[in-house]
Amino acid sequence: MSGIGFVGEPIIVDSGNVEYSKDEIISRYEYREARVVGNRVTPLNENLIFKTQRHVPKTGVLLVGWGGNNGTTLTAGILANKLKTTWMTKEGEHHSNFLGSICRSVTMRVGIDHNLQPVYAPLFNVIPILDPVDLEIWGWDISSMNIADAMNRAKVLDYDLQRKLYPELKDMVPWPSVYSEDFIAANQCDRADNIIRGNKQEQLDTLRQNIRDFKQQRGIEKVIVLWTANTERYAEIRAGLNDTADNLLGSIEANEAEIAPSTLFAVASILEGCTYINGSPQNTFIPGVIELAERHQILIAGDDFKTGQTKIKTVLSDFLINSGLKLCSIVSYNHLGNNDGKNLSAPKTFRSKEISKSGVIDDVICANRLIYGENEHPDHCVVIKYVPYVGDSKRAMDEYTSEIFMGGRNTIVLHNTCEDSLLAAPIIMDLILLAELCTRIQIKRVEDEEFSRMHPILSILSFLLKSPQVPEGSPVVHSLFNQRYSITNFIRALVGLPPETFMLLEHKIPSLQNHAS
């Protein structure tokens, strides 16, 4: 494998289709698809122009649920990388890293060298991406505990690392947050000592003022708000309540009880011009929120971080069905002992998680009508249990049963132990970095006069989310590999490179091989 190349500095694409200026990268790109009518398939080409700002602005992230396991782990992890912290465990010395992040620890193929060998580059060397150590981090929490003590309470990071980071984190105290005991488990009330008082309109006004103060005090150009707080129950969607943007704003002003805390944060973020990311499975993006985001052209993304078990499920279901096997039963069992597990022990919040986990195989099922009938679907059961002793070290057990050739059966059983927040933290970071990149991108067809921003719903981030939001009428893609190459092929398009095809024709056709070399 020594012939594989690596580019360790920002690449420059040498093409007439790409222009680099001091401020922008302008890429002319031919997007190819095919239209199907009956049994006739017609190739279609669309000529597009992408414009990406090269300047990466000073960016802040505001975390909702900052004092939880995910928020403290992300904050401590980024700080440790910024300070290049090392720490000792019984295995020896450890060094800070960004493992688990596609933006900081994954490379993408950018071409071939003169020997026809592949050459790879980090994503951040293909297009300008925010360096996470430059992020300004703050947030809200219903607990008043400072981030250093909250990090200790989470019991995620090694003790020696906690000890070294403690002095840097002890003065970080979350702002009061919005709390509604009707939307989360009753067992969370013992943490709720840091609450925004007043009616829902007053709470919304407070959140908006928090965002403005953060930007002004830190000299920040751009803010991203991200929900990493407790899973809420599903909110009721009702005509006149939250079905339109105006009805939603009116319901907030009227102090309607069915307006969830996460919806208040989303509305505050949108009205303040900030991208909003929902990292839990509840239906924060009710129709009124989506319409409000479209009205203000503010980017939103969700739902629910895709970390361990669900990520494996999207891989295995794709592998089995696209190998021609009929996946008939999936049974998933989890037990965990962190505060997320405690909150999910309540049936109303568990139902939100169950929904986000259960839909991740839908698209691969629907794509194969040779195996599955019109209304046929595998049995799919998800169980989550709270076991305090295991803490953040979540156990997941899965059984996949498929019908195979001539009436046979195949069963795959997996046991997965994962440190939940150490998987989630780099995913949260990637969501922030890629969402920020998307705010710097404009696009138009060649024949259009004006550039426009991307659609407010960032379905391009589906790789990182269990239950990805998509624009109305757009198909939901759950296949992990399709989601991953959607991101990297999109980045390739921003610099005028063709999508990755994996055909390697230069190694299969002699005349092409001679020309390429």
pLDDT tens digit string along 394-437?
A: 888 999 999 999 999 999 999 988 888 999 999 999 999 999 99
Mean pLDDT, rounded, for 328-355: 79
3-state secondary structure of 253: helix
Q: Is the pLDDT of residue 355 over 90?
A: no
Range 150-156 average pLDDT: 96
CA dist list (Å): 148 to 46, 151, 219 = 52, 5, 24
The CA dihedral of 231, 170, 135, 310, to the nearest 10 degrees, is: -30
Asked if residue 313 has pLDDT above 70, the reply is yes
Q: Which of 313, 394, 398, 420 is catalytic?
A: 394
Q: Is 310 left (phi over 0), alpha (psi -120 to 50) or beta?
A: alpha
Q: What are φ and ψ of residue 31, in 5° steps?
A: -95, 125
CA 508 from centroid of its chain's CA atoms: 38
In the chain, what percentage of residues exceed pLDDT 90?
Answer: 74
Query: Distance between CA atoms of 135 and 64, rounded to whole angstroms?
Result: 16
* Mean per-residue pLDDT over the chain, rounded: 92
Q: Which residues contact 10 (CB under 8 A, 6 or more apart)?
A: 125, 126, 128
End-to-end distance of the chain based on CA atoms, in angstroms?
Answer: 19
Instruction: Give the C-alpha distances (Å, rounded to integers) separating 333 from 25, 338, 390, 399.
Output: 47, 16, 15, 9
Which ranges in 476-517 belong to alpha helices (H)?
A: 480-494, 510-516
Residue of 141, 304, 318, 420 marked catalytic: 304
> Is residue 505 pLDDT above 60, yes or no?
yes
- Beta strand 118-122 pairing with 5-6: parallel
Q: Residues 6 or more apart from 360 whose CB is under 8 A from it?
A: 310, 313, 314, 317, 466, 467, 478
pLDDT band at 470 (very low <50, low <70, confident <90, very high): confident
Q: What letter represents residue 306's amino acid?
A: K
* Residue 293 banded pLDDT, cuts 50, 70, 90: very high
Structure tokens at 164: 């070294």
Q: Catalytic annotation on 353?
A: yes
Strand-pair category, 275-278 with 86-89:
unpaired
Beta bridge partners of 417: 395
**Which of 269-278, 319-328, 383-392 is predicted least confidently?**
383-392
The sheet with strand 393-404 has its strands ordered as 379-386, 326-336, 393-404, 408-419
Q: Is 29 left (phi over 0), alpha (psi -120 to 50) or beta?
A: beta
Residue 352, pLDDT > 70, answer no
Of the listed 222, 311, 342, 353, which one is catalytic? 353
Q: What percent of the chain has pLDDT over 70?
A: 96
Instruction: Find the mean pLDDT for residues 500-506.
Output: 87
Superfamily covering domain 59-105+132-305+422-439? NAD(P)-binding Rossmann-like Domain (3.40.50.720)
Is residue 394 part of the annotated active site? The answer reads yes
Environment class of 462 (CB within 10 Å of its CB; exposed 0-12, middle 13-18, buried 19+): buried
Is residue 58 among the annotated active site residues? no
DSSP letter (8 states) at residue 476: P
Listed by start position, the domains of the chain span 59-105+132-305+422-439, 309-420
* Runs of H (alpha helix) within 101-244: 102-105, 147-154, 159-169, 200-218
Distance CA 307, CA 347 (A): 22
Give 318: exposed, middle or buried? Use CB within 10 Å, 0-12, 13-18, 19+: buried
Residue 357 backbone phi and psi in degrees, to 5: -80, -25
Q: What is the pTM of this model?
A: 0.93
Alpha-carbon distance 177 to 277, whole Å? Answer: 17
Query: Hey, what are 472's tokens?
Result: 């109305």
Contact call for residues 378 and 361 (beta carbons, < 8 A): yes
Confidence of residue 469 (pLDDT cuts 50, 70, 90): confident
CATH code that applies to domain 309-420: 3.30.360.10
Residue 401 has what pLDDT?
A: 97
Checking if the pLDDT of 358 tops 80, the result is no
Whether the CB-CB separation of 345 and 185 falls below 8 Å is answered with: yes
